């Protein structure tokens, strides 16, 4: 199986920088091959549900199935290997769809949705690389969540994940950024973030959401110095 060093490098688009967030639009394997080490990967990768739609299931999703099939390609072993190779710790949501690519772990995160609906899962599972021994459950109903992406996670959930990482975790990568919820959580918590998104539509949404997060910062989180200088016109 190919590793990151064997992946053919191509010209990478110049990133958009917002505060401490560096955002790339393009293929995550190509872009990850140009990055150095990061402290953690926190991501919700594609599950391959577009294929399931073709088989007659998942018809009650709020997004058009033709649109979903453009980006929702099944995750491959090279994606998993690359994310693990360039990071010290990992949190992978939707792990039950691709456990064959992951080693055994004692640590899982479970999002309990507090709903029982025949068309949707009662919970979602994240695989963690095991910097802690215990698994944890986060209770939060998705009702009222205004989605801008088919698999968008609640901001409270992603902030909870990031807060579970060791305090020395400074730079977080999301190679499947989607609408940017992980980046918004990092901006709110004062963490550095690198995001990658293939689809231009969702990349633009992510940029807008992350910019708004910096425009409306949390009171007790220190803002990036450059952002403060820009606001002051320095």
- pLDDT, one tens digit per residue, over 127-148 is 999 787 789 999 998 887 777 7
124 - beta bridge partners? Answer: 111
Closest CA to 180 of 203, 159, 151, 164: 203
Domains contained in the chain, CATH given: 15-232 (3.40.50.150)
Q: Name the CA dihedral angle for 69, 71, 76, 79, rounded to a multiple of 10 degrees.
A: -170
Tens-digit pLDDT profile for residues 167-224 = 899 999 999 999 999 999 999 999 999 999 999 999 999 999 999 999 987 654 566 5
Report yes or no: 166 and 131 within 8 Å, Cβ to Cβ: yes
> Distance between terminal CA atoms of the chain?
50
Q: Quick one: pLDDT band at residue 74, thresholds 50, 70, 90?
A: low
Closest CA to 81 of 35, 46, 29, 158: 29
Report yes or no: 30 and 78 within 8 Å, Cβ to Cβ: no
42 - beta bridge partners? Answer: 91
Mean pLDDT of 86-110: 92
**DSSP tag of 114:** -
Tens-digit pLDDT profile for residues 8-64 = 445 678 999 999 999 999 999 999 999 999 999 999 998 776 544 443 334 344 445
């Amino acid at each position: 199986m190919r590793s990151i060093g064997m992946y053919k490098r191509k010209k990478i688009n110049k990133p958009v920088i917002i505060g401490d967030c560096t955002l790339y639009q393009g293929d995550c394997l190509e872009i990850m091959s140009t990055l150095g080490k990061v402290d953690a990967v926190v991501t919700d990768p594609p599950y391959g549900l577009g294929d399931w739609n073709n088989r007659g299931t998942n018809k009650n999703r709020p997004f058009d199935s033709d649109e979903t099939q453009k980006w929702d390609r099944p995750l491959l072993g090279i994606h998993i290997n690359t994310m693990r190779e360039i990071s010290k710790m990992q949190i992978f949501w939707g792990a039950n769809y691709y456990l064959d690519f992951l080693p055994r772990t004692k640590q899982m995160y479970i999002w309990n949705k507090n709903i029982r609906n025949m068309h949707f899962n009662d919970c979602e599972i994240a695989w963690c690389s095991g910097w802690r021994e215990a698994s944890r459950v986060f209770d939060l109903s998705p009702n009222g969540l205004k989605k801008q992406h088919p698999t968008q996670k609640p901001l409270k959930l992603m902030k909870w994940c990031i807060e579970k990482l060791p305090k020395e975790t400074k730079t977080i990568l999301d190679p499947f950024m989607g609408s940017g919820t992980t980046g918004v959580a990092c901006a709110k918590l004062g963490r550095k973030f690198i995001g990658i998104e293939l689809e231009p539509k969702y990349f633009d949404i992510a940029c807008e959401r992350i910019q708004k997060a910096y425009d409306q910062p949390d009171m007790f989180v220190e803002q990036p110095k450059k952002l403060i200088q820009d606001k002051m016109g320095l």
